[in-house]
A = this chain, B = another copy of it.
Amino acid sequence: MRIEIICTGDEVLTGKIVNTNFSYMSQKLEDVGLSVHWGTTVGDDRESLLAAFQLASQRADAVIVNGGLGPTVDDLSQEIAAQAAGVELVLNEEWLTTMEAFFTKRSRVMPPNNRKQAMLPSTAEIIDNPIGTACGFALDIGRARFFFTPGVPRELRRMLEEQVIPRLLARSGAPTTIFLKRFHSYGIGESHADALLAGIEALVPDGSVKLGFRAHYPQLETKLVVRGADMEEVRHKLEPVQAEVRQRLGNFILGEDDQTLEGVVLAELTREGATLALVETFTSGQIAARFGHLPGAEHVLRAGITVRDRTALHKTLDLSQIQLAGDLSEETTAAVAQAARLHTGATHALAVLIELDDGPDRIDFGGTIWLAIATAEDTAVRRSRILGGREWVRLGAVELGLDCLRRFLQHLPVVERIDFEKT
Q: In the complex the two chains form, is A18's CB within 8 Å of B15's CB? A: no
Residues of B within 8 A of A305 (CB): 303-306, 316
* Chain A: interface size category: 35 or more
Q: In the complex the two chains form, is A302's CB within 8 Å of B292's CB? A: no
Q: Bits for A18-60, please: 1 = Cβ < 8 Å to B, else 0.
A: 1110111111101000011111111100001000100100000
Residues of B within 8 A of A390 (CB): 293, 295
Residues of B within 8 A of A16 (CB): 23, 27, 214
Q: In the complex the two chains form, is A343's CB within 8 Å of B361's CB? A: no
Which one, B15, B28, B52, B307, contacts A26 given CB within 8 A? B15
Task: Judge if A153 is at the interface, Cβ distance under 8 Å.
Answer: no
Q: Bits for A392-404, please: 1 = Cβ < 8 Å to B, else 0.
A: 0010000000000
CA distance A149 to B37 in the complex (A): 22
Task: Judge if A315 is at the interface, Cβ distance under 8 Å.
Answer: yes
Q: A37-B43, A38-B41, A39-B40 are in contact. Are A23 and B27 (CB under 8 A)?
A: no
Most chain B CB neighbours (cut-off 10 Å) among A15, A280, A292, A304: A15
Task: Judge if A17 is at the interface, Cβ distance under 8 Å.
Answer: yes
Task: Judge if A161 is at the interface, Cβ distance under 8 Å.
Answer: no
Which one, B287, B315, B344, contacts A345 given CB within 8 A? B315
- Closest residue of chain B to A345, judged by CB? B315
Task: Judge if A65 is at the interface, Cβ distance under 8 Å.
Answer: no
Residues of B within 8 A of A343 (CB): 315-316
Task: Judge if A127 is at the interface, Cβ distance under 8 Å.
Answer: no
Residues of B within 8 A of A30 (CB): 14-15
Residues of B within 8 A of A312 (CB): 302-303, 344-345
Residues of B within 8 A of A282 (CB): 292-293
Residues of B within 8 A of A13 (CB): 26, 36-37, 39
CA distance A344 to B309 in the complex (A): 12
Residues of B within 8 A of A28 (CB): 15
CA distance A376 to B83 in the complex (A): 71
Most chain B CB neighbours (cut-off 10 Å) among A43, A293, A394: A293
Provide a sorted-by-A list of 15 A–B residue pairs whose CB atoms are within 8 angstroms. A13-B39, A14-B26, A15-B22, A15-B30, A16-B27, A19-B19, A22-B41, A37-B43, A282-B293, A292-B308, A293-B390, A295-B390, A298-B309, A303-B305, A312-B344
7 tightest CB-CB pairs across the interface, nearest first?
A: A284-B292, A285-B285, A39-B41, A304-B306, A285-B288, A15-B26, A15-B27
Beyond A55-B55, A284-B285, A295-B361, 15 additional pairs, beta carbon < 8 A: A14-B26, A15-B24, A15-B27, A16-B23, A18-B18, A39-B40, A41-B41, A278-B306, A284-B289, A284-B291, A284-B304, A285-B285, A286-B289, A303-B307, A303-B315
